[in-house]
Amino acid sequence: MKYEIGQRIKLVNDDKSSNRYIILATKTQNLDSEFLNSKTRKFSIHNFEKIAENGIEVNGGFAYVICREKEELRNGLCELTGDFISVMGGDIEI
């Protein structure tokens, strides 16, 4: 996969170019507790462990599940809006 879980990206056709998104799952890697336990790096995303406990997986013909970041940070962690979006690889850019 071109993008990885935790990576910050933009949507190609987003009306608001300042919006930033986070990759939460790829078609080859679900976000779950097993994934988090296998990683040594810390993700700077508020409540990321709770999101992983519930599990996020890509469905259908999509390549990624993403979520928009809120503009403000909480204790150095980015907060997510809570709206998960399924997208194709061509819909996103760095």
Residue listed under structure tokens 């779950």: 32
**29 domain residue, yes or no:** yes
Q: Taking 80 as the threshold, does the pLDDT of residue 93 lie above it?
A: yes
- d(C-alpha 31, C-alpha 51), whole Å: 8
**80 domain residue, yes or no:** yes
**2 domain residue, yes or no:** no
Contact 36, 60 (CB under 8 A): no
Mean pLDDT confidence for 3-21: 89
pLDDT band per the 50, 70, 90 thresholds, residue 82: confident
**49 domain residue, yes or no:** yes
Query: Which residue range(s) make up the domain with 45?
Result: 8-93
Structure tokens at 31: 């976000």
pLDDT of residue 63: 97
**61 domain residue, yes or no:** yes
DSSP state at residue 90: G
The answer for residues whose C-beta is within 8 angstroms of residue 48's C-beta and 6 or more apart is 36
- The separation between CA 69 and the C-alpha centre of its own chain, rounded to angstroms, equals 9
Highest mean pLDDT among 13-17, 18-22, 39-43, 54-58: 54-58
Number of structural domains (the chain) is 1
